Amino acid sequence: MSKKLVFSSVVLGCLVFGVPMSGADWNPPSKVSREAIVEASNAVLARPDIKLKVKEDIFRIRALEMDWDIGAMVYEPEDPSKIPVGPDGRKIGVFLLHGGEGDHRSMDDRAHLLAGKFGFKVANMSYPGRLYLLDPSRDWPGDTMHPDGTVRTPIWKKDELITADQYEVIEDKEESRRKRWGTLILACAKEGTEFYHRMAAWPVAFEEAGKELMRRHLPEGQYSIYVHGHSTGGPFVFMLSQRVPNIVGVIGMENSPFGYIYGRMMGLTWDLPFNCLRIRSWRDTARYVGPEVLAREGPQALMRLPELMEEVLESWKRETKSPQFKAENTIHFNGRESLAEAARGAAKRLNMTGEETEALVKKYIGYTQELAGKGVKPVPPVLFGIAKTSRDHSPEAYSKIYLPMFAAMNPAPKVRVVQFDAGTHGYSEPEPGLPMGVAPAAAKVWYDAIMGGYYQDYARRWSTGK
């Protein structure tokens, strides 16, 4: 099929929202009205609850000659026969990845929804370093910035914590970044420290962690895996989609694409040093509240700015139980130079040869884009969803940037976009008439897509390793 024809296939038509049709005839709706969202949400939430077995899995992996403790939760029906089988004859498994602020707990509501209402087995992972391993609650104590000038740092290994002498705290006020994030607070690791080495090596640790979690719980030959990464998680599940044989599809909702596509859409790349960890603050709450309130109330919302700021600060206090730091911008925003330097930093520690170093650099840069070439597993079919008041995921960005860039891939994957006439970037947040936001309606579209055969041709080939 020509690229022109493939691009035509991603232009959305007027389609039904309801019972999945069979085989290749099924397609998602281009738009879902608020009325239809409410109807779908009520129908999904009224489905009988499936009794679940929910278990935390903390496991240790080895990557680039370092140990890493990885946190995840696994959700599955107590009765294994409740796990549905897709059209390809494999059980349905879902791999979830959270957004930039959180850990796997951020996706707990959606994991329960998918497992408890549809029976999917769900593996829900945290990025390396994000889970608070020192308390069973997993709640991070205090705020991200401490009165003594120190900051919160990742726990990549439970018995090897980062100490304050390993970093400097820097304020970044570069104009273009400040417009988006406000003043950036950075913890920049000193060269030669454990912090520095971890910041250089975590991308490989993430890849190995994702592969190991799916190997442990959604093994090849038994499961076809559908991946979803909320926001920042999107580029990471796209990266994994070509590196895990039985991943057969992307089920997206406010799900960013490959880093090089997202960077193009945002008009920026992450050019800060790889060893600088971004420490989040109330500013990150404010940058989402602003456009969401604007969409709901219009410019008049600025007349109650003091009240809005109080709401932002109160919300931030609740959110500090989540990790609220971020190393992943290098992949999220196509920071190729920063990634190359990280690879060289890891290679230097390992005394790699020049050839080995360049291979590692190529591997790191490859995390931001699709793999291509003979014998390479192609990008699987993609089903994107966007919320009405999303800050960054607009219909214009998808039509002008996302879809043409996916169509230019060789081979080009099947891609569709569903616009929901409700919801925010945090798409499971409640709103009037929608106790879980648009998440149940999105889950219904995903279920219909899987059972209706949207992914079937790809799944038949790649879930069997042929």
pLDDT (0 to 100) of residue 107: 98
CA dist., res. 281 & res. 413, Å (int): 38
Enter the tokens of residue 138: 């997993």
Give pLDDT, residue 15. 31
Give the CA distances from residue 192 to residues 123, 153, 155, 257, 276, in Å, rounded to whole numbers and listed in that order.
Answer: 35, 17, 18, 34, 14
The type of residue at 49 is D
Which residues contact residue 85 at a Cβ distance below 8 angstroms, ignoring those fewer than 6 apart? 91, 92
The residues near 294 (Cβ < 8 Å, ≥ 6 apart) are 301
Residue 333 CB partners (closer than 8 Å, separation 6+): 259, 262, 263, 266, 268, 269, 270
The per-residue pLDDT for 463 is 58
* The pLDDT of residue 11: 38
Instruction: Report the CATH number of the 3-132+201-266+357-462 domain.
Output: 3.40.50.1820
Residue 268: predicted pLDDT:
86
- β-pair partners for 92: 224
- Cα–Cα distance, 306 to 335 (Å, whole number): 36
**What percentage of the chain carries pLDDT values higher than 70?**
94
Note the pLDDT tens digit of each residue in 254-263: 999 999 999 9
Q: How far lies 464's CA from each of 121, 225, 383, in Å?
A: 19, 12, 22
Enumerate the domain spans of the chain: 3-132+201-266+357-462, 164-199+267-348
Q: Is 206 left (phi over 0), alpha (psi -120 to 50) or beta?
A: alpha
Q: Are strands 223-229 and 91-97 parallel, antiparallel or unpaired?
A: parallel
Segments of the chain with pLDDT less than 50: 1-23, 465-466
Mean pLDDT, the chain, whole residue set: 93
Q: Where are the beta strands (DSSP E) in 15-166?
A: 31-32, 52-63, 66-77, 91-97, 121-125
Between CA 434 and CA 124 the distance in angstroms is 24
What lies within 8 Å, CB to CB, of 307 at 6+ separation is none
Who contacts 341 (Cβ-Cβ below 8 Å, separation ≥6)?
273, 274
Query: How far is it, in rounded angstroms, from Cα 386 to Cα 449?
Result: 16
Nearest to 104 by CA among 135, 83, 74: 74
Written as one string, the DSSP assignment of 183-217 is SEEEEEEPTTSHHHHHHHHHHHHHHHHHHHHHHHH
* DSSP 8-class letter at 85: B
What pLDDT does 24 receive? 56
C-alpha gyration radius of the chain: 21
